[in-house]
């Protein structure tokens, strides 16, 4: 599917042979076009403002790129049939001097559990929701549109955000098939925001939105060489997002740079009291003029004079299961952060060992899902199979052939249905209090307070679980890659490559609730000093570039 730029040159004389670098398709009439695998938002805005290309060109290029790799990677389940007309409208507004935000006319993909009130389906990857309709736009989609974003399509995911089976694989959904990562053939894309991760990593949109209950933004961000922001629960509205847990679910950006992720967070953060009253806890909920500026937080000197913790006891307990290249890259990162002006101290999670054998989180997630799924079904304006609750969903899934039961089981749901009580039951409260202890005083929040630190570091492989219990934020940044001679290891069902040569991994900054701006500052200061993302290219990159689209249009 590579567009032959040489042929275009012949046809329209846009490209002079003398100026074409070995990497073709980037210079036309002396103008350098950005390459979409590493373009930033600010680069795109420069091109849009100068008229080098339009939002329609961008949408066209991204759609061509999606179609080029989709049958190999299965990372996008639906394209937005309205994307081109929305882009045309954005272009007309720009021509007329109306620019809604820095994201005006920029294509973004969203995970297939965030509802839109348009032609696209919102299914969590299940056929039970194909054709279902929602009463409204999700607040996430509405905020993106208000910022002028072109919602390009829906990204594949681990089905039900990885809350169904004990024997499935990351990135598999009945509706979307098996997603693969682009850094190694057959790569486990991690999950559950698998398609969001793969798509952002190889430039199939500027960036994407993922959702996280425990690790679903952070983990696919790390293995796809991305920056991922898991916001404080309540910073981003869950209204009309298919839930797992109201106490743990959150929506956040997955992008190639910290600054792009910050721009996207700026657009989606904020109170939505009618749709999701957890957002009433945002400290500036009643005074949005006082909202932080996440983009301005991108400051190279953010580490100067700060105290940064390391959860040494977590490393000691989990270190034996963590690969040597990850551990050595982590120690190097600590040294670099110290050299950048921070004071490094131990910040141990004092109850981490006890938490290893505690089962309260499962009780909370089960209880929240029993309530949340029933409420989501109840909110639909069209419910194709009239499913009302998890028992009915399980019956559907077990009897609908494309759901691949029993090869992919329903063990997680079986546990929830056996538990039988939801989050209105008196047994919910003590289970949730246990979570708050293990994540709070005995976990990340206690460590921050006791050591008077601004953030705590861990390799991203070890970071999601404890912050998940209390809904506190984490930012992951590329930290390195498995070495080129690394021996491949497979996932538990032997279908995907979990670790292998040049597969990426990340560094996590964990902080207090609502401290995203500070974490973004640290992530940026680390990223700008290391720029690990650029050290390795994926094995599979689409060939079509923005320059090809513009050249073709001119012909
Ligand atoms: C994905 O690939 C298939 C097979 O090549 C193609 O038919 C389909 O239109 C593509 N879908 C998207 C969303 O690009
Ligand atoms: C310019 O934009 C304004 C505000 O959106 C709109 O009212 C007006 O009709 C537009 N004019 C043109 C020429 O598109
Ligand atoms: C949504 O699902 C319906 C099937 O119910 C399908 O006809 C339609 O094309 C899907 N929408 C998109 C944008 O793919
Ligand atoms: C539903 O969308 C409308 C705009 O179409 C908005 O005014 C309303 O607040 C939304 N409802 C909720 C609960 O967010
Ligand atoms: C928050 O909203 C939920 C419904 O989404 C409702 O059950 C609950 O009572 C509300 N809580 C408060 C404190 O308003
Ligand atoms: C915002 O105002 C409401 C109503 O007065 C109040 O219940 C809520 O606690 C306030 N939120 C914050 C973060 O101050
Ligand atoms: C943190 O844990 C490590 C490993 O268990 C231990 O060696 C260290 O002394 C602890 N640090 C503090 C300050 O307690
Ligand atoms: C939940 O936490 C309580 C209090 O720590 C503990 O007694 C109980 O055993 C825990 N439940 C499970 C299932 O681990
Ligand atoms: C939660 O469980 C109670 C008691 O069984 C039930 O009455 C209620 O409808 C359930 N809530 C939801 C949202 O399913
Ligand atoms: C179970 O699913 C089958 C097929 O979807 C349906 O015919 C049947 O009525 C369902 N049974 C229950 C108890 O929901
Ligand atoms: C991989 O290469 C490194 C250095 O290049 C070497 O130290 C290491 O032993 C090699 N590992 C394997 C498994 O060959
Ligand atoms: C829209 C889309 O790309 N769907 C693909 C998802 O993956 C399956 C295979 O796993 C393909 O058959 C679909 O075409």
The residue whose C-alpha atom lies closest to atom 8 belonging to ligand 6 is 280
Pairing of the two strands 177-178 and 172-173: antiparallel
Closest listed residue to residue 327, CA positions, set 519, 457, 183, 489: 457
For position 17, what pLDDT does the model report? 33
pLDDT in tens, the chain (555 residues): 222 232 222 222 233 333 333 344 477 777 889 999 999 999 999 999 999 999 999 999 999 999 999 999 999 999 999 999 999 999 999 999 999 999 999 999 999 999 999 999 999 999 999 999 999 999 999 999 999 999 999 999 999 999 999 999 999 999 999 999 999 999 999 999 999 999 999 999 999 999 999 999 999 999 999 999 999 999 999 999 999 999 999 999 999 999 999 999 999 999 999 999 999 999 999 999 999 999 999 999 999 999 999 999 999 998 888 999 999 999 999 999 999 999 999 999 999 999 999 999 999 999 999 999 999 999 999 999 999 999 999 999 999 999 999 999 999 999 999 999 999 999 999 999 999 999 999 999 999 999 999 999 999 999 999 999 999 999 999 999 999 999 999 999 999 999 999 999 999 999 999 999 999 999 999 999 999 999 999 999 999 999 999 989 887
Q: 320: Cβ below 6 Å to ligand 10? A: no
Three-state secondary structure readout of 401-443: HHHCCCCCCCHHHHHHHHHCCCCCCCCHHHHHHHHHHHHCCCC
Task: Give catalytic residue positions.
Answer: 111, 192, 216
Residue-level pLDDT at 553: 87
CA nearest 273: which of 281, 263, 265?
Answer: 281
Q: Which ligand is nearest to the CA of 395?
A: 10
With a 6 Å cutoff on the Cβ, whether 78 touches ligand 3 is yes
Helix (H, G, I), strand (E, B) or coil at 198: helix
362 burial type by CB count under 10 A (0-12 exposed, 13-18 middle, 19+ buried): middle
Q: Which residue ranges make up each domain of the chain?
A: 27-547
Is 366 close to ligand 9, i.e. is its CB under 6 Å away? Answer: no
Residues having CB closer than 6 A to ligand 6 are: 280, 283, 285-286
Tokens, residue 493: 């069902």
Q: What is the pLDDT of residue 114?
A: 98
Give the phi and the psi of residue 178 in degrees, each rounded to 5.
Answer: -95, 115
Which ligand has the minimum distance to the alpha carbon of residue 286? 6
Q: Say if CB 76 and CB 156 are below 8 A apart.
A: yes
Give the pocket of ligand 4 (CB within 6 Å).
136, 239, 274-275
| Four-way CATH pick for 27-547: 3.90.1300.10, 3.40.50.2000, 3.40.50.970, 3.40.50.2300 | 3.90.1300.10
| Centroid of ligand 1 to alpha carbon of 256 (angstroms) | 24
Q: Ligand 5 mean position to 364 CA, how many Å?
A: 17
pLDDT tens by residue, 406-424: 999 999 999 999 999 999 9
Nearest ligand 12 atom to alpha carbon 177: 10
391 CB near ligand 10 (under 6 Å): no
Looking at ligand 12, which atom is closest to the CA of residue 77?
Answer: 1
Is residue 436 within 8 Å of 445, Cβ to Cβ? no
pLDDT for residue 7 = 27
The set of protein residues with a Cβ atom below 6 angstroms from ligand 8 is 358-360, 431, 434
Pocket test for ligand 11, best of 324, 325, 480, 485 (most atoms within 8 A of CB): 485
pLDDT value, residue 222: 98
């Amino acid at each position: 599917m590579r567009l032959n730029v040489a042929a275009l040159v012949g046809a329209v004389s846009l490209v002079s042979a003398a100026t074409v670098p070995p990497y073709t398709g980037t210079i036309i009439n002396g103008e350098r076009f950005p390459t979409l695998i590493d373009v930033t938002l600010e680069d795109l805005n420069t091109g849009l403002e100068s008229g080098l290309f339009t939002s329609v060109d961008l949408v066209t290029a991204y759609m061509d790129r999606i179609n080029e790799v989709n049958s190999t990677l299965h990372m996008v389940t639906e394209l937005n049939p309205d994307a081109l007309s929305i882009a045309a409208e954005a272009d007309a507004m720009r021509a007329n001097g109306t620019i809604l935000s820095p994201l005006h006319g920029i294509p973004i993909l969203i995970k297939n559990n965030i509802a839109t009130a348009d032609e696209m389906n919102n299914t969590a990857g299940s056929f039970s929701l194909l054709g279902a309709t929602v009463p409204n736009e999700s607040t996430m989609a509405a905020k993106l549109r208000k910022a002028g974003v072109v919602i390009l399509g829906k990204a594949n995911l681990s089905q039900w955000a990885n809350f169904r089976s004990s024997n499935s694989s990351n990135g598999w959904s009945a509706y979307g098939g098996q997603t693969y990562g682009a850094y190694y053939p057959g790569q486990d894309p991690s999950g559950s925001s698998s398609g969001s991760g793969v798509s952002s990593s190889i430039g199939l949109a500027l960036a994407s939105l993922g959702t996280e209950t425990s690790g679903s933004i952070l983990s696919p961000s790390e293995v796809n060489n991305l920056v991922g922001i898991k916001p404080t629960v309540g910073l981003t509205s869950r209204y009309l997002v298919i839930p797992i847990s109201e106490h743990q679910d959150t929506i956040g950006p997955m992008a190639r740079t910290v600054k792009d992720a910050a721009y996207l967070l700026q657009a989606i953060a904020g109170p939505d009291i009618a749709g999701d009253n957890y957002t009433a806890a945002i400290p500036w909920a009643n005074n949005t003029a006082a909202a932080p500026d996440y983009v301005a937080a991108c400051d190279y000197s953010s580490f100067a004079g700060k105290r940064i913790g390391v959860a040494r006891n977590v490393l000691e307990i989990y270190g034996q299961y963590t690969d040597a290249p990850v551990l050595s890259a982590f120690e190097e990162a600590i040294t670099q952060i110290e050299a950048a002006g921070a004071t490094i101290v131990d910040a141990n999670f004092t109850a981490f060992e006890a938490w290893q054998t505690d089962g309260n989180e499962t009780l909370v997630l089960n209880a929240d899902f029993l309530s949340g799924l029933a409420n989501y079904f109840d909110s639909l304006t069209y419910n194709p199979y009239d499913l009302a609750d998890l028992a009915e969903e399980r019956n559907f899934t077990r009897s609908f052939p494309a759901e691949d039961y029993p090869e992919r089981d329903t063990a997680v749901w079986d546990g929830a249905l056996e538990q039988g009580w939801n989050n209105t039951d008196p047994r919910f409260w003590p289970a949730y209090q246990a979570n708050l202890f293990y994540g709070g005083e005995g976990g990340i929040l206690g460590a921050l307070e006791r050591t008077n630190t601004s953030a705590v570091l861990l390799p991203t492989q070890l970071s999601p679980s404890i912050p998940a219990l209390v809904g506190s934020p984490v930012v992951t940044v590329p930290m390195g890659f498995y070495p080129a001679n690394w021996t491949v290891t497979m996932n538990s069902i032997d279908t995907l490559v979990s670790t292998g040569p040049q597969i990426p991994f990340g560094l996590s900054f964990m902080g207090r609730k609502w401290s995203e701006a500070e974490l973004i500052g640290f992530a940026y200061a680390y990223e700008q000093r290391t720029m690990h993302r650029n050290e390795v290219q994926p094995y599979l990159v689409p060939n079509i570039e923005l320059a090809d689209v513009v050249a073709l249009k001119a012909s």
